[in-house]
Amino acid sequence: MITLFQITGSSSFAARAALECAGADYEVVDVHPRRRDEAPGFAEANPLQRVPALREGDVRLAETGAILLWIGDRFPEAGLAPAIGTTARADHYRWVTWCANTLHVGWWPIMAGFYFTNNESAQESLEVRGRENMDRHGRHLEAWLSDHEWLAGDRFGVSDIYAYMLVGWANYYDDITLGGPAVAAHYERVGAIPGIVRTRELDDLDERFMRYHPELRGGKPLD
């Protein structure tokens, strides 16, 4: 049985969505954001105690990108990862890694400047540069999606799920939009896939990634 360690509405959304889209049999362990030691097996699955983390048998996996690549291969029949050796497979590696290395971390100066400095005015300038960078990243995604329906090959896959989540986070900000009409259309396409709709429901998120119940995580009070 696959166990996913998650905090609903966080980066673990992408891992859960991939499991849902793959039709996987899995269980979740809800991690309390401020009491991570209480989640049984979590520190063993990921010593950094970050979500998502995943366990199956001897497999211990962390990092959203690695988990998505693994799920794509673990459930080949779901078609969430293109065949090895194809051009689409190269695009699959490229986009999952780009999401992990560039788009995901691109959010940190905006969302979590405190990771970099405790100087508040430095955090403000980090955010200004962070927004410029995200604008550039959005344009990069827009250029690709203007010519391609999906990020890797001719069908929906795990790279689309990762990009969908990271684009969705822009909804937290009234003044940030990633990309243009092609990114928006991709967001709509991915957002309508049944496994994605189901995961939003499970994670208590609306179509714009807003929590229906901000005071809850995994259905429990965030005390």
Binding site for ligand GSH (CB under 6 A): 7, 10-11, 50-52, 63-64, 100, 104
- Closest distance between ligand GSH and the C-beta of residue 62, in Å? 6
Q: How far is CA 194 from the centre of its chain?
A: 17
Alpha helices in the chain (DSSP H): 12-22, 42-45, 64-74, 87-98, 105-106, 108-111, 120-145, 158-168, 181-191, 194-202
C-beta of 83 vs 115, nearer to ligand GSH = 115
Closest to ligand GSH by CB, 64 vs 159, is 64
Q: In this complex, which beta carbon is closest to ligand GSH, that of residue 50 or of residue 92? A: 50
Residue 36 contacts residue 42 (beta carbons within 8 Å): yes
Listed residue (36, 70, 24, 165) closest to 6, CA to CA:
36
Beta bridge partners of 220: 217
For residue 64, the minimal CB distance to ligand GSH (Å) is 4
Shortest Å distance, C-beta 149 to ligand GSH: 25
Question: Based on CB atoms, which residue is closest to ligand GSH, 20 or 203?
Answer: 203
We find the least distance from the C-beta atom of residue 163 to ligand GSH, in angstroms, to be 13
**Which residue's structure tokens are 């540069």?**
129
Q: How far is the CB of 43 from ligand GSH (least distance, A)?
A: 12
Tokens of 143: 């250029």
Return the number of the residue (15 or 24) whose C-beta is nearest ligand GSH.
Answer: 15
CA angle 159, 111, 157 (to 5 degrees): 5
